[in-house]
Every structure is written in C-alpha cells, then in structure tokens.
Amino acid sequence: MTEMNPDGRHDFDFFHGRWTTRNRKLADVLDRDCTTWVEFDSTVRCEPVLGGLGNVEPFTAPAMPPSGDPLEAMTLRLFDPRTGNWRIWWISTRQPGLLDDNPMEGRFSGTHGEFFAVETIDGEAVRVRWDWDVLGTESARWEQRFSYDAGVTWHLNWTAAHTRSD
C-alpha cells in the first residue's frame, strides 16, 4: 500500500492473482429508486502489465441476476507516476466495443482507496465512487456508490467481497 510504496504504483499489487467474489448489487444500479438487492458469484484474475504500471482483471459471472445471463468483463487499471493517481476502466460484453472516455480516478491512502468519476445517467450528471479496502492477504472489498446531489450523499449500489482462490 501507499506507506510501503510512496508513489502508489504498487497499490494494486495485493490484488494480483485469482479471486472468487460474492457480489451483492441492486437489481438495476442505474435506477435510483431500485431497492431490490440481488446476489451472485464471479471470478476475477488480476495480472500486472506494463512493468507494474498497470493491471488487467478479467471478470466472469456465469449467471448475472436478474436475467441469469452470463457476463464477461474486464477492468483495466493504469498508474500515472506524474500525478500518483490510478485511472480505471470497466469494459463488458453488455456494451461491446465501448471504452469509457471518463475513467474512475483516485488513489490509496494506506489500505483504503477512493476513486471517482462523473457519469451521465438518463441525461443527468451522476458522481460515481469506488471504494477499495484491503482486508489482509486473502480478502478485499470493493464498493460502488452513486451521488445524485454532487457528492453530498452517496447511495451504495454494489458490493464485492473478494476471497483469494490461488
């Protein structure tokens, strides 16, 4: 983490390897009024690229609720040594060919990382926040929140509890 790696380029090294993930998310994260939670399992495999200045993380969910359809996705993380920030892109089979021009951006402080972006949902600017918590060598947690009021309040809509599987 940051205290061991002052510039931050190794902040995601803890996540290299294979993980099983228990996901809990709102059935429709884009619907601000949705209150129905669904759960599903997925697997990820995080590997370093570019000499450690980035990593790729394929994601596979055999049955994604509520439809039950499989989902394949990938996270791409790149570290910018000039700013000390990470930029994170999420790419999925649900939006093939789309690489968002507005990645999440942020950094770790100790074992907690915060990453932010602004997305347009139904024509409205919505702030998105990803929180990462390193819970030791065998587990980690990721959470996604949306803010519809410029960051005054945050609404949790997805959590992922990762357990090392390699």
What domains are defined for the chain? Answer: 13-164 (2.40.128.20)
The answer, yes or no, to whether residue 102 has pLDDT greater than 90, is no
pLDDT at 14: 96
pLDDT in tens, 109-141: 999 999 999 998 889 999 999 999 999 999 999
Can you give the three-state secondary structure of the chain, one letter per residue? CCCCCCCCCCCCHHHCEEEEEEEEEECCCCCCCCCCEEEEEEEEEEEEEHHHCEEEEEEEEEEECCCCEEEEEEEEEEEECCCCEEEEEEEECCCCCCCCCCCEEEEEECCEEEEEEEEEECCEEEEEEEEEEECCCCEEEEEEEEECCCCCCCEEEEEEEEEECC
Average pLDDT over residues 94-115: 85
pLDDT at 1: 46
- Model confidence at 2, pLDDT cuts 50, 70, 90, reads very low
